Structure 1
Amino acid sequence: MRIDPGQHRADQPVRAGIPEHGRIPRYYAAKIELLALLDELGEGAPLPSERELAERCGVSRVTLRQAVTELVLEGRLIRRHGSRTVVAPPKLLQPLALTSYTEGVRAQGREPGRIVVTVETRPADARLAADLRLEPGEDVVHLERVLQADGERVGLESSYLSKARFPRLLDDFDPAGSLYAFLHEELDVRFGEAEERIETVLATPREALLIGTNPATPMILLHRLTWTPDGEPVERVRSLFRGDRFTFVTHLHS
């Protein structure tokens, strides 16, 4: 199989996967051909049989499986129990901005949802207390929720807020709803700025079980600390998103 290094999509690096010596790994050549096939098939369509695909790509089944596995990890294919592997839907685009998860998902015509895992009061450790400008040991409200999009589990979010600053949270807030909407609409909280750190990780066994994903699936971890316009801390959030289902986008200005 021949691949012209000059032929590439605008969202892919030039010569992606092609070593400088020009010898293209057979699994990668098969992967490129499979990508073209996925565009033809469309979302939700099942892949042809492994034998048919191996013949089409001119590779062994072992080599084909390597290409398919990479496409599954990248979120281009979905393996379903008891049925064939199918073409995945487009990834969700989540803005890196002072907007809620709910707003980001609804903007794409998808329905957000949350499964409540934990609602508790706990003492703040030294680091959390420093972030929220509390004394160590002061009570914070901890909300842990599985994030959904159209009923599919796509992430896990843990939010920490001062119980003294937001005493109505435990009594009045529906933990299955949007926390940002409640803070803004019910408590008149205004968000001024936030600091966000992003890294890639693998889910712990517990996190993988809650999200319903393979522990080998790459995850995107976001840490966010949010303040009001007056500089008062509002919340600290740890959000874990499936790397095969999310793309993050932001707008930069000079």
Structure 2
Amino acid sequence: MSKPHAIRTELDGLLDGLVEGDPFPPERELATRFGVARETVRQALHELLVEGRIERRGRGTVVSTPKLVQPLSLKSYTEGALRMGRKPGRLLVTWEDVAASADLAEALGIAEGDAAMHLERVLLADGQKIGLESTYLPVARFGGFRETFDPTTSLYAAVRATGVHFGSAVERIETVLAAPREAALLESTTAMPMLRLHRRSLDIEGGPIEVVRALYRGDRVAFEASLTDRD
């Protein structure tokens, strides 16, 4: 067994005996305990950080809160967080009307140059920053949100309250690195892998509702889907 693999196995064993919030031994102590170079330990600790099993708090390292698991479905982030017993929250970053580009206009079913509402928010779970969501909606359809919508609450609930029902969506997820602005908003680094989600949602009659680009911290969020064999 290689040294990096052996150290990782030892660290996994240590984690099995700890619970959320427990302090994790520092790099120097682990290197001495296992008789290996600090670089070997540093590599294993970085893997655990990326996987979201440990996290930095102040000058130390502790066992992380389990990842928030979001279902791949037409449910809001709020519903996914509540399902796991987590407290959802949002911080407003940007709320503005923009002239739709050709691609955005086609996706929203409006004319190029027409107004699209752009809503950018940081997503929270138990006060912890886990994602950055950028949503575009046609102003002609949802312009009333300026007077009625609280951006710290669920957008999907607000859409449904207007009598619009989500019918379908096309969603794509890929792994990326955050830009400096995105990393700063999520209190992360540009070296931390992120999950980028693209979604276009339609109502039950096939009319466009939204276009979403969301970035989730890979160490704090995972996605799951329920699959069936229809053959």
TM range (shorter): over 0.9
Secondary structure class of the residue paired with 1:165: helix
Residue 46 (structure 1) aligns with: 23
Please tell me whether residue 198 in structure 1 is matched to residue 177 in structure 2. no
Residue 81 (structure 1) aligns with: 58
1:221-240 to 2 correspondence within 5 Å? 221-240=196-215
Q: How many Å apart are 1:142 and its aligned residue?
A: 0.5
Please report the TM-score for the alignment, with normalisation by the length of structure 2.
0.96
Higher strand share: 2
String of CA shifts for 1:48-106, please: whole Å, max 9, x gaps.
24343223333222211111111112211111223x21111211110000000001001
Give the structure with higher Rg (CA).
1
Secondary structure class of the residue paired with 2:150: coil
Residues of 2 paired with 1:155 and 1:148: CA distance?
Answer: 7
Unaligned runs of 5+ in 2: none
Secondary structure class of the residue paired with 2:166: coil
Unaligned runs of 5+ in 1: 1-23
Letter in 2 for 1:140: A
2:133·2:215 contact (CA, 8 Å) conserved in 1?
yes
Residues of 2 paired with 1:137 and 1:211: CA distance?
Answer: 31
Letter in 2 for 1:176: T
2:26·2:61 contact (CA, 8 Å) conserved in 1?
no
Please tell me whether residue 166 in structure 1 is matched to residue 104 in structure 2. no
Q: How many Å apart are 1:43 and its aligned residue?
A: 1.4
Please tell me whether residue 103 in structure 1 is matched to residue 79 in structure 2. yes
Percent pairwise identity: 52
CA-based RMSD of the aligned residues comes to: 1.1
1:83-232 to 2 correspondence within 5 Å? 84-185=60-161, 187-232=162-207
Higher relative contact order (CA 8 A, sep 6+): 2
Residues of 2 paired with 1:33 and 1:228: CA distance?
Answer: 51
Please report the TM-score for the alignment, with normalisation by the length of structure 1.
0.87
How many residue pairs match? The answer is 229
Instruction: Say if 1:51 and 1:118 are closer, same or farther in 2 by CA, change over 3 A.
Output: closer
Q: How many Å apart are 1:25 and its aligned residue?
A: 3.0
Residues of 1 paired with 2:96 and 2:131: CA distance?
Answer: 20
Instruction: Say if 1:140 and 1:52 are closer, same or farther in 2 by CA, change over 3 A.
Output: same
Residue 221 (structure 2) aligns with: 246
String of CA shifts for 1:164-208, please: whole Å, max 9, x gaps.
0112111211111100001112x0110100000110000000000
Letter in 2 for 1:182: A
2:130·2:186 contact (CA, 8 Å) conserved in 1?
yes
Residues of 2 paired with 1:51 and 1:206: CA distance?
Answer: 32
